[in-house]
Amino acid sequence: MRKVVVLFVALISFAAFTSPDAKEILDKVDRNMSSKNRIFESSMIIHGRRATRTINSISYSVGNKKSFTEYLSPAREQGTKMLKLEDKLWIYSPSTDRIIQISGHMLRQSVMGSDLSYEDMLDDRKLTEVYTSTLAGKEKLGDRDVFVLDLVAKVDDVAYFAQKIWVDAERFVPLKQELFAKSGQLLKRTEFSDVKQVQGRWFPMTIVYKDMLKEGSGTEFRITSIKFDQEIPEYLFSKASLKK
Amino acid sequence: MMLALKLAFKNLLGAGLRTWLNVSVLSFAFVLIIFFNGMIDGWNRQGRKDTIAWETGKGQFWHPEYDRYDPYTIQASNGLMSDEILKETESKRLVPILVVQATAFPQGRSLAVILKGIDPMLTVLELPVSVLSSDNGIDYAVIGKRMAEAAKLKVGDKLLIRWRDKNGTFDAREIQIAEVFKCDVPGADNGQIYLSLQTLQEMMELKNHATYLVAGEEFEDRELENWVFRDLDFLLEDFNKIISAKKAGGSIMQIFMLLIALIAIFDTQVLSIFRRQKEIGTYIALGMTRMQVVGIFTVEGGAHSILATILGAMYGIPLFLFLNKVGISFGVGQGMDITLAETIYPYYSIRLIISTILLVVVSATIVSYLPSRKISKMKPTDALKGKLQ
């Protein structure tokens, strides 16, 4: 009986102190970062070589497949709308009053001069579908304990062959992500901060994207307000809504 | 006719300064027309020669999807070379070139570039790419002077490039500039980085693939399955259009110059007929028909052009020979997006010279004939008296 108790206590202790496996961590991250739908207002601050631009927008998204974004300011971009349905992307420009489909190699162009490409915005596959993950260790990032995950592509059609992700060990949100080329060259770094609890889930409100091959401070993405699981009218996700 | 010519030259030389002023202006127009067209022809010949030597070869076989004006076609426009093509490339009659879009990062800036994989042992084009064959673990690259200036690169500099392989996965590596070449063909230089074909094929995972094949002089003309032949007319279309536009633009100036000279001849003819009415009456009284007299005056006016040709030849030939030897330096060719050598050597063809002489003679004769027609309406008796008609 005493042996059974010792074994039971040992198992409980092992479960309490051992780290979850990489897939489990990514699943928890997905649960935090994904939602049925969301509405958020954000500011995209693009730090260029000469000047810094801030673009404010409101976005509506359902899962990872549908999203609608309207740019609110500055005046030059105001009224520009972007609609994403599955792997297709349309942009409406009020100055020309035309809807343009962004396809093929145009998807590789930068969004409004930022460090993000249209393709980056379209890639909506879950990390667990695209990468084989391994837990590389546990370390401190700032004052937070983090799990470090190494991800290597398991499919051919992926933009970044490998990734390294630092996941908050307590809140299960990514705090840092590095994207690598096949040769191992670091290409992009994304840093997540200002993690807040919104409707019971932890969410980073500031994300900084940095193209590591270019000089500059990168592109900052600040979420000013976010609501999950709202009522979003279906008509918003149609081409007709772009011209409204 | 001989009488008309004798009289014409006698009268012209007798008119003194007035004749020489007309002849000078006409000879200047004559020399200018030959000079300008000689310059354009020289530019055309050099440009075609350089483009063939550095870029096009005697023709190219393109992958059907390839469109040189649409960079979005580049990713998909490459194909596997058949055994027949590989045999031709081994014997250096065809040069395969693989084209890939990439981004270079010189000094932390991003620059859209075209990577061109090329056989380092090529003989068909003059590109100095033999340095790419060196096998010491470094990925060497060759660039043109324009590209070097745009990216602020020099021999020995290292450059990070990023591209996507055939599946769209990013890859990046460092290359080293092994050679910077100077050529007058922007199409072989602007925004382009030459790598060894084998290296680029490995980078893209596209073994034995090419985007287009450049045909050398020794290539026997024939069709290649799955490749579209582009001849020199197609490949040099833009250059030919520029030359035509320049010729058309220049012809306005030439016509203007010629017009000034012809108006001077026209004026002289009108004045001659007005002042020489007694002479006209005398010719008719001596038995000449009106048309013979018209002929004398027309020949006299037209003879300006013969004198202008002689005078033009006297100063034009030494000038043209000198320019043909030293050329005319523009010194701007490197900064332009058209094929233009720094020094252009004008080319004066026999056809150009004969056609210009004919243009000057015929136009001078026509403007001489127009006022002379008045003679046929003159009354000989009034003309003899010198009465105004």
DSSP assignment of A9-65, as one string?
HHHHHHHHHSPPPHHHHHHHHHHHH--SEEEEEEEEEEE-SS-EEEEEEEEEEETTT
Q: B65 in contact with A at a CB cutoff of 8 Å?
A: no
Do B219 and B257 lie in one domain? The reply is: no
Q: Which helix (H) or strand (E) holds B173?
A: strand B170-181
Residue where a domain terminates, one of B173, B199, B226 = B226
Facing residue for B72 by CB, picked from A49, A104, A181: A104
Task: Report CB contact under 8 Å: B170, A187.
Answer: yes
Do B217 and B76 lie in one domain? The reply is: yes
Whether residue B381 is contained in a domain is answered as yes
Contact A209, A221 (CB under 8 A): yes
* pLDDT at residue B15 greater than cutoff 80: no
Share of chain B above pLDDT 70, in %: 96
CA B43/CA B45 separation, integer angstroms: 6
* pLDDT at residue B370 greater than cutoff 90: no
pLDDT reported for residue A19: 59
Do B38 and B131 lie in one domain? The reply is: no
Q: A156 in contact with B at a CB cutoff of 8 Å?
A: yes
Domains of chain A: residue spans and CATH: 20-243 (2.50.20.10)
Q: Where are the alpha helices (DSSP H) in chain A?
A: 2-17, 22-33, 118-122, 127-130
pLDDT digits (tens, 9 = 90+) for B195-250: 999 999 999 999 999 999 999 888 888 888 889 999 999 999 988 898 888 888 87
pLDDT confidence of A121, banded at 50, 70, 90? Answer: low
Do B92 and B214 lie in one domain? The reply is: yes
Which residues of chain B make contact with A214, given a CB cutoff of 8 A?
105, 108-110
Whether residue B76 is contained in a domain is answered as yes
Do B213 and B282 lie in one domain? The reply is: no
How many domains are there within chain B? Answer: 2
Do B73 and B206 lie in one domain? The reply is: yes
pLDDT reported for residue A225: 92
Whether residue B233 is contained in a domain is answered as no
Whether residue B174 is contained in a domain is answered as yes
Beta strands B111-118; B192-196: pairing state: parallel
Task: Report CB contact under 8 Å: A106, B105.
Answer: no
Do B83 and B213 lie in one domain? The reply is: yes
Rg (CA), chain A: 20
CA B217/CA A141 separation, integer angstroms: 65
Instruction: Identify the three-state secondary structure at position B191.
Output: coil
Please name which of B265, B280, B282 lies closest in space to residue B24, comparing C-alpha atoms: B265
pLDDT digits (tens, 9 = 90+) for A41-68: 999 998 877 788 899 999 998 877 788 9
Instruction: Give the gap in angstroms from C-alpha A11 to the nearest C-alpha of chain B.
Output: 44
DSSP state for residue A233 in the 8-state scheme: -
Q: Please provide the average confidence, as pLDDT, over all residues in chain A.
A: 84
CA A99/CA A119 separation, integer angstroms: 18
Token readout for B66 is: 């390839």
Do B216 and B253 lie in one domain? The reply is: no
Whether residue B59 is contained in a domain is answered as no
pLDDT reported for residue A161: 93
Do B76 and B37 lie in one domain? The reply is: no
pLDDT digits (tens, 9 = 90+) for B19-57: 788 888 888 888 888 888 888 888 888 888 989 999 999
What is the pTM assigned to this prediction? 0.77
pLDDT reported for residue B70: 82
Do B45 and B70 lie in one domain? The reply is: no
Whether residue B244 is contained in a domain is answered as yes
pLDDT reported for residue A12: 43
CA A223/CA A203 separation, integer angstroms: 10
Whether residue B176 is contained in a domain is answered as yes
CB contacts < 8 A (A, B): 63
Task: Report CB contact under 8 Å: A181, B160.
Answer: no
Q: Residue B183's domain spans which residues?
A: 64-226
pLDDT digits (tens, 9 = 90+) for B79-110: 999 999 999 888 888 999 999 989 899 988 88
Q: A105 in contact with B at a CB cutoff of 8 Å?
A: yes
Q: B289 in contact with A at a CB cutoff of 8 Å?
A: no
Residue where a domain terminates, one of B170, B200, B226 = B226
Whether residue B58 is contained in a domain is answered as no
DSSP per-residue string spanning B18-79: HHHHHHHHHHHHHHHHHHHHHHHHHHHHHHHHHHIIIIITTEEEE-TT--TT-GGGTTT--E
What is the ipTM metric for this complex? 0.77
- Residue of B169, B175, B203 best to disrupt the A interface, most CBs of A under 10 A: B169
Do B36 and B68 lie in one domain? The reply is: no
Q: A153 in contact with B at a CB cutoff of 8 Å?
A: yes
Do B198 and B319 lie in one domain? The reply is: no
